[in-house]
């Protein structure tokens, strides 16, 4: 009777030991349809902090920006002047430069060197600025109007993209190099007259020696 009870106890112990070994050897079943890399990447920062895992950013490639077409034609600027009823001047111009290009317009009276200037912006190939002159209006005489394309450093980024850094894509008879080493610039000057043509002496005098 004692032998049977001892055998029963030994058998029960062996059965319990076998069950423990089986539970330790169990391995988690991995679903082959789940990408473990994506699963880790989608862990939020908060969840990663609580679990001790280091978060990984989900890679999302941004679409490439469209290519910007460089400016490939000679710079063209033309101006018209209009004298208002108060004898002040308006400047109306056209150009093939890109929209939002900044231009500097200057009007100078040739007799005195007095200048008026304003900055304007190209919109749809057109620009307008003024009025120029004092409150009493412009006196009769000769004037010059100059339209300058300033260096790229003062232009909007969209204009720099078209015209190139330091104006690399600028070309044509109106284009020159900045005196301050800031790349290419463009300029046009036109003379005009307000009022009557100034009187000019056309007589020629011959000087003779007297005895």
Contact indicator for 119, 133 with CB cutoff of 8 Å = no
Cβ-count burial of 137 within 10 angstroms (0-12 exposed, 13-18 middle, 19+ buried)?
middle
**pLDDT for residue 18 is more than 60:** no
Cα–Cα distance, 167 to 161 (Å, whole number) = 10
Lowest mean pLDDT among 22-26, 34-38, 133-137: 34-38
pLDDT at 135: 87
The shares of helix, strand and coil residues in the chain, as percent rounded to the nearest 5, are 25, 30, 50
pLDDT at 57: 46
Task: Residue 146: name the closest of 179, 182, 108 by CA.
Answer: 108
Lowest mean pLDDT among 14-23, 95-104, 150-159: 14-23
Cβ-count burial of 161 within 10 angstroms (0-12 exposed, 13-18 middle, 19+ buried)?
middle
Task: Residue 198: name the closest of 115, 110, 114, 133 by CA.
Answer: 110
Cβ-count burial of 201 within 10 angstroms (0-12 exposed, 13-18 middle, 19+ buried)?
exposed
**pLDDT for residue 210 is more than 50:** no
For 10, list phi and psi in degrees, rounded to 5.
Answer: -65, -40
């Amino acid at each position: 009777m004692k032998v049977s009870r001892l055998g029963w106890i030994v058998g029960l112990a062996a059965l319990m030991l076998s069950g423990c070994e089986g539970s330790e050897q169990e391995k988690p079943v991995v679903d082959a349809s789940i990408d473990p890399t994506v699963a880790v990447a989608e862990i939020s920062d908060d969840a990663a902090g609580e679990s001790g895992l280091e978060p990984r950013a989900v890679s999302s490639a941004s679409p490439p920006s469209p290519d910007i077409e460089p400016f490939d034609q000679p710079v063209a600027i033309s101006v018209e002047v209009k004298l208002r009823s108060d004898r002040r001047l308006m400047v109306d111009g056209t150009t093939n430069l890109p929209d939002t290009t900044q231009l500097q317009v200057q009007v100078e009276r040739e007799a005195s060197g007095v200048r008026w200037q304003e900055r304007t912006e190209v919109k749809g190939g057109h620009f307008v600025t003024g009025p120029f002159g004092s409150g009493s209006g412009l006196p009769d005489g000769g004037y010059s109007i100059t339209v300058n394309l300033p260096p790229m450093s003062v232009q909007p980024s969209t204009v720099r993209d078209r015209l190139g850094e330091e104006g690399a894509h600028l070309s044509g008879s109106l284009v020159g190099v900045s005196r301050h080493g800031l790349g290419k610039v463009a300029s046009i000057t036109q003379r005009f007259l307000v009022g009557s043509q100034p009187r000019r002496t056309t007589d020629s005098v011959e000087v003779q020696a007297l005895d």
